[in-house]
């Protein structure tokens, strides 16, 4: 019963919009019509809506983690771009660049760099490649643009997701309040029958 009722509600919610795999929430104007169309009782509908709310919360946690990662990555890329630009500016001037670099966490060393023709970039997964300064600059700029574009998409996804959470919470409240109202009306009807 629960799986067939979940599919009935799922098909009813498919008419709402979807963004990058995040299903849209259906705002319920008329609770009674919603329950009749979905073929669910109040408890099953509330259970489905609570489950959907938990799914939204899980997706939100994942998107927030991705957002934190991107927000940490962007300054690193910008710092690398600044270093490459500094190396390019010093190239051909004859004066060496004195730089402090991190050997290990908390351990720094000083280096004297004279006319660097190339730089080495960590690509991840323990892979480092040597690029000319121009190629490194182009690659880093491309990575920075991609990271900023991904961050914009993530922010839009989070806004969409928060709207879906709000709609689902309002729907849960409407279904619950409708049920309370129906039970109160039934009690009043029973009381009125007893009195007459």
Token duo for residue 70: 């991107």
Cα dihedral 61, 67, 73, 75 sign: negative
- Any idea which residue has 């771009």 for tokens? 81
110-137 burial, b at 16+ Cβ within 10 Å, e below that, comes to: eeeeeebeebebeeeeeeeeebebeebb
Considering only residues 117 and 47, tell me which one the structure prediction assigns the higher pLDDT: 47
| Ramachandran category for residue 74: left, alpha or beta (phi over 0 → left; psi -120 to 50 → alpha) | alpha
The helix (H) or strand (E) run that includes residue 44 is: helix 42-90
Q: Are 156 and 30 in contact (CB under 8 A)?
A: no
Please give the average per-residue pLDDT across 51-73, as a whole number: 96
Instruction: Give the pLDDT band of residue 2 (cuts 50, 70, 90).
Output: very low
pLDDT at 6: 43
| Alpha-carbon distances of 68 from 18, 65, 71, 114, 150, rounded to whole Å | 24, 5, 5, 37, 12
Mean pLDDT is lowest, of 55-59, 118-122, 144-148, 159-163, for: 118-122
Domains of the chain, by residue range, sit at 31-185
Report residue 16's pLDDT band, with 50, 70 and 90 as the boundaries.
low
Averaged pLDDT for residues 130-159: 96
Question: Above 50 in pLDDT, residue 161?
Answer: yes
**What CATH number belongs to 31-185?**
1.10.287.370
Cα-Cα end-to-end distance for the chain: 40
| Confidence (pTM) | 0.75
Residue 19 has pLDDT above 90, yes or no: no
């Amino acid at each position: 019963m629960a799986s067939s009722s979940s599919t009935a509600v799922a098909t009813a919610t498919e008419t709402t919009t979807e963004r990058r795999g995040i299903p849209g929430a259906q705002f319920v104007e008329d609770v009674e019509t919603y329950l009749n169309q979905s073929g669910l009782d109040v408890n099953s509908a509330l259970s489905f809506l609570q489950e959907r709310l938990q799914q939204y919360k899980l997706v939100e946690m994942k998107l927030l983690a991705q957002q934190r990662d991107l927000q940490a990555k962007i300054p690193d890329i910008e710092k690398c771009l600044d270093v490459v630009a500094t190396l390019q500016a010093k190239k051909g001037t004859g004066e060496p660049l004195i730089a402090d670099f991190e050997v290990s966490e908390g351990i720094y060393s000083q280096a004297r760099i004279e006319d660097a023709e190339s730089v080495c970039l960590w690509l991840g997964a323990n892979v480092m490649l040597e690029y000319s300064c121009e190629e490194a600059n182009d690659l880093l700029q491309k990575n920075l643009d991609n990271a900023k574009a991904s961050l914009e998409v993530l922010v839009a996804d989070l806004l969409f997701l928060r709207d879906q959470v709000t709609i689902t919470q309002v729907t849960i409240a409407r279904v619950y309040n409708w049920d309370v109202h129906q039970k109160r009306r039934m009690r009043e009807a029973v009381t009125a029958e007893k009195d007459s």
